[in-house]
């Protein structure tokens, strides 16, 4: 096992820096736990992250040039932001990260990925922009933005044999982000088996269940009680919630310290962890066709009636 595991965080793609902000909110584990050696069994970790590093400008970018020269191995490359197609115009560039000392010209996000990925022990794409293109890949966007798997190839493997690991979300859930990073660090330290991923390269244990299965409002769905506007505690499917078909653990996990989670606190699920987001799931606020619920005098009404009966009987005076 190496004495130091480096983590290079590249936020030069097209993004709002939402994952960098999310990282500051993680608690299980926190990024401080990871970098300060609070977790047993990990080697020393050196995080090179623009939000956090004391170095700035050329001194900060030098870590990336060192990684390219093979001086920092092993390292995990974390990519935030989508990768623009830099070939679709005559001049200029869409997004870059520092300058090339030889030419003085910006190094684009895609170029960094091509330089660093072959040397990385693992590549982690964080946020829906970096994983599947996200907001910048919407129809009509001129950047030709794409996620890391579309840029490197879905079958790409690191020199340690790992596939690209995707942690989508707009933004990524803070603890999903640090939990997956921690898993990869343990795997690279030889203390965890190959990370299990689904067909969209997401860690299975986080993205197996739908939002609906963990939603506080699911009992209302069962008995066909649907909100027609905001401010109601009932199910939000008729005001546009996609939770029944979207795989995401946020409703179950809560947002920070177990509190919150989109539909639990009144926000519809807009499918932000899914490939094809946002175009495939628009227009928002309309009842999703794929998730249409039976509001008729059938199953839901029967469940509601029987539950009401059971509640009255079980909470009535003892016989």
Residue 36's Cβ-count burial label (10 Å; 0-12, 13-18, 19+) is exposed
Q: Are strands 75-80 and 4-10 parallel, antiparallel or unpaired?
A: parallel
Q: Are strands 106-108 and 96-99 parallel, antiparallel or unpaired?
A: antiparallel
Tokens representing 258 are: 């177990």
- Strands of 106-234 (E only): list them: 106-108, 122-126, 165-167
Q: In what order do the strands lie in the sheet with 75-80?
A: 44-48, 4-10, 75-80, 122-126, 165-167
Of positions 63, 112, 132, 221, contacts ligand SF4 by CB under 6 A: 221
Task: Name the residue nearer to ligand SF4 (CB basis): 167 or 251.
Answer: 251
The yes or no reply on residue 243 touching ligand SF4 (CB under 6 A) is yes
Of positions 26, 84, 166, 241, contacts ligand SF4 by CB under 6 A: 241
Residue 12: left if φ>0, alpha if ψ -120 to 50, beta else—which one? Answer: alpha
How near is the Cβ of 313 to ligand SF4 at its closest, in Å? 26
The yes or no reply on residue 167 touching ligand SF4 (CB under 6 A) is no
The yes or no reply on residue 271 touching ligand SF4 (CB under 6 A) is yes
Q: How many residues does the chain have?
A: 319
Q: Using CA atoms, how far apart are residues 270 and 184, in angstroms rounded to an integer?
A: 29
Task: Name the residue nearer to ligand SF4 (CB basis): 187 or 224.
Answer: 224
Q: Which stretch binds ligand SF4 (CB under 6 A): 46-54, 189-197, 261-269, 304-312?
A: 261-269
How near is the Cβ of 206 to ligand SF4 at its closest, in Å? 11
Of positions 6, 48, 119, 217, contacts ligand SF4 by CB under 6 A: 217
Query: What would the DSSP string read from start to end of 29-45?
Result: T-HHHHHTT-STT--EE
Q: Using CA atoms, how far apart are residues 227 and 229, in angstroms rounded to an integer?
A: 5
The yes or no reply on residue 269 touching ligand SF4 (CB under 6 A) is yes
The yes or no reply on residue 126 touching ligand SF4 (CB under 6 A) is no
Which of 149, 244, 184, 176 is CA-nearest to residue 7?
A: 184
Tokens representing 204 are: 């299975």
Q: Give the number of other Cβ atoms within 10 Å of residue 217's Cβ.
A: 23
Instruction: Report which DSSP code applies to 157.
Output: B
Task: Name the residue nearer to ligand SF4 (CB basis): 145 or 269.
Answer: 269
Is 248 marked as a binding-site residue? no
Tokens representing 210 are: 């739908």
How near is the Cβ of 227 to ligand SF4 at its closest, in Å? 8
The yes or no reply on residue 177 touching ligand SF4 (CB under 6 A) is no
Of positions 14, 83, 122, 237, contacts ligand SF4 by CB under 6 A: 237
Of positions 250, 275, 278, 300, contacts ligand SF4 by CB under 6 A: 250
Is 235 marked as a binding-site residue? yes
How near is the Cβ of 243 to ligand SF4 at its closest, in Å? 2
Q: Which residues are documented as binding site for [3Fe-4S] cluster?
A: 269, 272
Q: Which residues are documented as binding site?
A: 16, 129, 170, 212, 215, 235, 241, 269, 272
| Chain positions contacting ligand SF4, by CB under 6 A | 169, 211-212, 215, 217-218, 221, 235-237, 241, 243-244, 246, 248, 250-251, 262-263, 269-273
């Amino acid at each position: 096992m190496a004495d130091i595991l480096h983590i290079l965080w590249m936020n030069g793609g097209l993004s709002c820096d939402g994952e960098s902000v999310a990282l500051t909110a993680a608690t299980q584990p926190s990024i401080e736990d990871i970098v300060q050696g609070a977790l047993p069994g990990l080697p020393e970790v050196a995080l090179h992250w623009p939000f956090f590093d004391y170095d700035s400008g050329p001194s900060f970018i030098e870590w990336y040039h060192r990684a390219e020269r093979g001086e920092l191995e092993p390292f995990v490359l974390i990519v935030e932001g989508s990768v623009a197609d830099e070939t679709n115009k005559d001049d200029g560039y869409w997004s870059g990260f520092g300058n090339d000392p030889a030419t003085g010209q910006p190094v684009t996000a895609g170029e960094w990925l091509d330089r660093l990925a072959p040397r990385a022990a693992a590549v982690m794409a964080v946020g829906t922009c970096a994983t599947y293109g996200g907001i910048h890949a919407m129809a009509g966007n001129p950047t030709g933005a794409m996620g890391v798997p579309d840029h490197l190839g879905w079958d790409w493997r690191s020199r340690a044999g790992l596939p690209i690991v995707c942690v989508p979300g707009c933004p990524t859930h803070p603890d999903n982000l640090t939990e997956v990073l921690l898993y990869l660090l343990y795997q690279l330290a030889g203390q965890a088996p190959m990370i299990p991923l689904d067909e969209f390269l997401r860690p299975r244990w986080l993205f197996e269940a739908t939002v609906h299965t963990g939603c506080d409002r699911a009992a209302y769905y069962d008995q066909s009680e649907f909100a027609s506007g905001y401010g109601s505690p009932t199910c939000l499917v008729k005001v546009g919630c996609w939770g029944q078909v979207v795989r995401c653990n946020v409703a179950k996990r809560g947002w920070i310290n177990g509190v919150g989670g989109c539909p639990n606190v009144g926000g519809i699920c807009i499918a932000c962890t899914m490939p094809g987001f946002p175009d495939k799931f628009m227009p928002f606020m309309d009842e999703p066709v794929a998730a249409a619920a039976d509001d008729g005098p059938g199953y839901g009404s029967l469940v509601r009636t029987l539950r009401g009966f059971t509640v009255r009987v079980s909470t009535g005076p003892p016989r």
